[in-house]
Amino acid sequence: MRLTQAISQFLQTVEHQYGYSAHTVRAYQNDLDRFAAHLKTKHAQTLENVATITLEIMRDWLWELQEQGKSTATISRNIATLKSFGKWLEERELVEINPATRLSTPKKQHTLPRVIGEKQIENLLINLRQAALAGEAAAQRDYAILELLYASAIRVSELVGLTDSDINLAEYTLRVTGKGNKQRIVPFGKPAAAALKLYLEAGRLQLASKNSAGLASSKIFLGNRGGALSSSGVYRIVAKHLKSLSGGGPQGPHTLRHSAATHLLNGGAELRVVQEMLGHSNLASTQIYTHVSTERLAQTFKQAHPRA
């Protein structure tokens, strides 16, 4: 089988049979397209028959990525993609054995996520609320987005997937669809509810009216032209507003998720509760936020204690 045909069938399998999210499928496609481009340059014969792809050929591509200065996280993700693709090839008997089985994932660089201070976020949301009350649709949407991301700690992919039926303003809850199409109920507070209500009753209607195709989107959050807002669109919105805050590090939606989780733990929330709220299948994924809290404690001790 030709490589392009195998990649196409693999992507269909992970989307329709495995139920992977559109974001994950897109990441697989991007990785495999880059892999195919590499093969076209250095191992053109493999394009005609996937059975000729070997462990050494895969390692050659990964070495090239390393030479290009790609991060450990990027290389690890590409290895995971090759392993999943190789496993699929083996299951379909397109190769005798998965050539990616012996690929070693590089050790993770343990960096703590950026956490924004509670006072900084409070001041930011106060300013966004004032802008939203002025009546501009985009300002009302941006206010609702940042309030909800911080209040609920949901992923950006979960935010853009929200529809009318997913929000219960009376009970202050969201129904979100996370990784692997797993659904969960997530609470949010009164400030986020007020921001959502303002946006839904005014800003969203104004944005929907700008849709030139005349097609009403079922998604809660809309772009400036009235269509459903994309994950990259949310990233740009959040980054624009976080840019004004002091401190370095990432400025995207995940920063609000990290901050919310850390603030919950600092406020006394149980780790298992935070795990459920974040939609982590493994408690170890949530425990990084305890490290963040511990580091803050250590910093405070060193700065304040006379015997530190």
**Catalytically active residues, by annotation:** 155, 179, 254, 257, 280, 289
The answer for residues whose C-beta is within 8 angstroms of residue 219's C-beta and 6 or more apart is 160, 161, 162, 163, 228, 229
User: 10 Å Cβ neighbour count for 135?
Assistant: 12
Strand arrangement, sheet containing 173-177: 167-168, 173-177, 183-187
Contact status, residue 94 vs residue 271, Cβ threshold 8 Å: no
Tokens 């921001």, located at residue: 195
Contact status, residue 187 vs residue 172, Cβ threshold 8 Å: yes
Give the whole-angstrom CA distance, residue 32 versus residue 25: 11
Contact status, residue 289 vs residue 277, Cβ threshold 8 Å: no
Provide the H-helix boundaries in the chain. 3-12, 22-42, 55-67, 72-91, 118-133, 137-152, 156-160, 190-198, 204-208, 231-242, 253-266, 271-278, 283-304
Q: Considering only CA atoms, which of 167, 169, 145, 143 is closest in space to residue 155?
A: 145
User: 10 Å Cβ neighbour count for 196?
Assistant: 25
43 phi and psi angles, rounded to 5 deg: -140, 60
- Dihedral sign, Cα of residue 205, residue 207, residue 208, residue 212: positive
